[in-house]
Homo-oligomer: A and B are copies of this chain.
Amino acid sequence: MSPALEDYLETIYLLVQEHGFARVKDIARARDVKAATVSIALRKLAELELVRYERREYIALSPHGEEAGRRVFTRHRLLARFFEEVLGMPAAAASEQACAMEHSLTDDAMNRLVRFFEFVGSCPNVVDSFRECQTALGPGCSPEQRNTSGACALCSEKEEDPQMSLADLKPGQSAVVTHVGAAGALRQRLLDMGILPNTTINLERSGPGGEPLWIRCHGARLALRRTEATVIRVRDEMA
């Protein structure tokens, strides 16, 4: 079963749920493909006995097909909920993200994600305080604000560790990223370069006048400007 065929089953499943029937045209619209493509897919699905379908008649899922369609849709719902309710994405974007991932979520991963929801369901503070941190302080706020604002209601032992930035390291020193305190395009650039929380990075050396900072991150060498480095919060390597 290819992802594409699974998608057709899911689409048909949803259309039948909603309207009681599914037609080629509706499926084509829902999946944004041409009717011709749907026609061919239906033939394949019928051969696999996932769909009962006589040319030009209404489309019905076989028991197996319905199972498969529901299975995919369930994964979709689960992932969309994660992106929306936990990570706070807008519903539409969460659903799109879920679409792209629903076919590859293994049983095991699904199970664990469900347990995660069961957990946060009986412990609502967890997600709430995360969400508060995000919305209350905005995406660009500095880590100091985050930590001292009391937004994280759960952490009794508010860490008073001296906060360091990547720019405070001496050449040769290593540290572990805790926050990437940048927003927008810069943030995305830093993340794409592999600067993620909990990543060990090493300041190899700084150029003349301290300007480009040469850092090593996961084996790769990168050059950063000092202004970029100051927003990257780090902690000591051990721990």
Q: Which residues of A contact B (CB under 8 A)?
A: 17-18, 67, 70-71, 73-74, 77-78, 81, 83, 86-89, 93, 96-97, 100-101, 104-123, 125-126, 129-130, 133-134, 139, 143, 146-147, 152, 154-155, 159, 178-180, 187-188, 191-194, 196-199, 218-220
Contacts and interface: CB of A to CB of B under 8 A. Distances in A.
Kindly report how many copies of this chain are found in the complex they form together.
2
A198 B100 contact: no
A17 B194 contact: no
Nearest to A120: B130
A97 B118 contact: no
8 contacts: A77-B196, A77-B199, A81-B196, A111-B188, A115-B134, A122-B152, A122-B155, A123-B152
Contacts of A178: 118, 121-122
A147 B125 CA distance: 15
A96 to B, nearest CB: 8
